[in-house]
Structure 1
């Protein structure tokens, strides 16, 4: 294959050597010409972006970028490859010089900003964004330039489609002499991840709320055993919080069912603090205000001592030694 054939870019039309003039029409030639112009314009755009970003380092290395040396096929393919990588990466990639002027702006940046590279090239954020947003972007970039070290931040970026949560790494661009000539930023979109985390937190809170409601129902079960009679068996230690739950559940049950007698069985309660004994007496009084009566069954010796110490506070409270005797009392009362 000759040199001429070897360096022909693929996808272009090359006249009679490639196909006979009899095989084409004026319309097809014009279409080929328009397609060629589009390809050249895209290549020029990509080459300009690459040269703007790498110009200082290339100048230090002695390479001229004024067009006098020309650009060979290998260089064109290299630029094309880099442009394809930048434009198809699922990342926001951009670069600025030390004055904050844009040198590079990949396709993802164009999409989210609603601006093309040609519209932002050579401009600063202060020319493109509200001042508050521009200052937010500039601060970490100035820090990177001053320190010469990479910086990772998590930012909230306002856009027309809503706020984006992005994780950004900004690092200095350094020429062959070690001088910082700009900053490059690479941002990954965390928006969906943050939304998923928030939804997960909401679901966890809902699960916890349901678990607490279930535990409350299990710790203070209310069982209707006959018309006008309710039983609430308590098992395990009773602290102040559980005593409050008992009061709430019992009052709600008595009111909803129109109960005349509520049996509170404490056979399964091993120990009761003094303040809890007082809470049980308050339950009895509150239920009495609803026109019902509390029967306390299964009292252990320690609880009996606490209750005796309350003196007149026990008025209106019926006690029985066992749940069975308490139920017998309640059934007799409602029948009579």
Structure 2
């Protein structure tokens, strides 16, 4: 093949490409004029088909068409009656319809009535107010529901009259899914942290067959007393324990209502056929327990954890 042949082939390919681009532009201009004729007539524009499109204008239109079709946005425009004037490629893809299929039609001709009314309400508001409006909404499509952020603004002619509305929507679906997943993961982390703290604040240690020890360290409030009861009952039931030693040596202070909680722990464990041995009692807790009188029945107390373990070991052997 000669150099001349290559040059001819290249020119022919360029000509074919130019013809395709011109045909595409003519298609879009024809569809636009068919859809926007009434609106342009109202605005006092010429509708006799005279375009006056020179090479520079074609290039300009070509550039705008490329921007519209390649922008990662859904871009569309309607006249004041809701008829489509513009429908970019992203809109075509999500709607499953070409611009020619929607041009000059309203959403009421293309969508279920409920969806059409949802689209129409903000557009009527924009036309009436003459001001932009930003909304965030869920849009049902054949591919699923999209979460979009949309700004709709009025289209105004040279005389200042509103002849339509344009909408530009960005897809937030993946972003919202990521946010929801992040919230779910955060909630799971919090749940695991709480479970870990509960386990650390109420450790249950088996020291012999039938004997469990739960050492408590730090202040004990009503919530922690409830955790103690829950953990102790679960442990006694799961291990078939006969004695549960509750050591409060490391508890610096106990709220008055917690003494009642400890007695309830003893009673609940007793219902499972086991016994609670309370060790390491401080003077203040001793006073609270003494004030409860008969509520101490079934609760064994020892001054130290060592003496409590000795009591438990003796009891399980006997």
For the criterion TM > 0.5, the same-fold answer is yes
State the Cα deviation string for residues 76-103 of structure 1 (Å, max 9, x = none): 1111000000000000000000111000
Name the SS for the 1:24 alignment partner.
Answer: helix
CA distance in 1, matches of 2:26, 2:152: 27
Name the SS for the 2:9 alignment partner.
Answer: helix
Name the SS for the 1:276 alignment partner.
Answer: helix
| Cα separation, partners in 2 of 1:313 and 1:56, compared to 1, 3 Å | same
Identify which range, 80-89 or 250-259, moves more after superposition: 250-259
- Segments of 5+ residues of structure 2 without an aligned counterpart are none
Identify which range, 181-190 or 296-305, moves more after superposition: 296-305
Task: Kindly indicate whether residue 111 of structure 2 is the aligned counterpart of residue 129 of structure 1.
Answer: yes
Identify which range, 193-202 or 58-67, moves more after superposition: 58-67
Identify which range, 198-207 or 99-108, moves more after superposition: 198-207
Give the C-alpha shift of residue 46 in structure 1: 2.8
**1:60–1:175 Cα contact (<8 Å) kept:** no
| Cα separation, partners in 2 of 1:53 and 1:73, compared to 1, 3 Å | farther
**1:240–1:275 Cα contact (<8 Å) kept:** yes
| Cα separation, partners in 2 of 1:79 and 1:58, compared to 1, 3 Å | farther
| Cα separation, partners in 2 of 1:331 and 1:56, compared to 1, 3 Å | same
CA distance in 1, matches of 2:276, 2:309: 12
The TM-score with structure 2 as length reference comes to 0.90
Task: Kindly indicate whether residue 11 of structure 2 is the aligned counterpart of residue 29 of structure 1.
Answer: yes
CA distance in 2, matches of 1:23, 1:46: 35
| Cα separation, partners in 2 of 1:312 and 1:68, compared to 1, 3 Å | closer
**1:46–1:80 Cα contact (<8 Å) kept:** no
How many pairs are equivalent?
Answer: 318
**2:123–2:165 Cα contact (<8 Å) kept:** yes
Give the C-alpha shift of residue 54 in structure 1: 8.2
Report the aligned-residue RMSD.
3.3
Give the C-alpha shift of residue 273 in structure 1: 2.3
State the Cα deviation string for residues 6-29 of structure 1 (Å, max 9, x = none): xxxxxxxxxxxxx99997999999
| Cα separation, partners in 2 of 1:40 and 1:107, compared to 1, 3 Å | same
Identify which range, 61-70 or 227-236, moves more after superposition: 61-70
Match of 1:114? 96
Give the C-alpha shift of residue 335 in structure 1: 2.7
Give the C-alpha shift of residue 66 in structure 1: 3.2
CA distance in 1, matches of 2:2, 2:160: 56
Give the C-alpha shift of residue 39 in structure 1: 3.8
**1:104–1:117 Cα contact (<8 Å) kept:** yes
State the Cα deviation string for residues 40-84 of structure 1 (Å, max 9, x = none): 431112334565788799889997563446321111111100000
- Segments of 5+ residues of structure 1 without an aligned counterpart are 1-18
State the Cα deviation string for residues 182-232 of structure 1 (Å, max 9, x = none): 000000000000111111111111111111111111111001112221110
Give the C-alpha shift of residue 334 in structure 1: 2.2
State the Cα deviation string for residues 108-150 of structure 1 (Å, max 9, x = none): 0000000000000001111101111111111100110111110
CA distance in 2, matches of 1:206, 1:272: 32
**1:60–1:176 Cα contact (<8 Å) kept:** no
Identify which range, 318-327 or 170-179, moves more after superposition: 318-327
CA distance in 2, matches of 1:95, 1:227: 79
Task: Kindly indicate whether residue 286 of structure 2 is the aligned counterpart of residue 304 of structure 1.
Answer: yes
| Cα separation, partners in 2 of 1:36 and 1:126, compared to 1, 3 Å | same
Name the SS for the 1:303 alignment partner.
Answer: helix
Give the C-alpha shift of residue 333 in structure 1: 2.1
**1:52–1:104 Cα contact (<8 Å) kept:** no
CA distance in 1, matches of 2:244, 2:2: 105
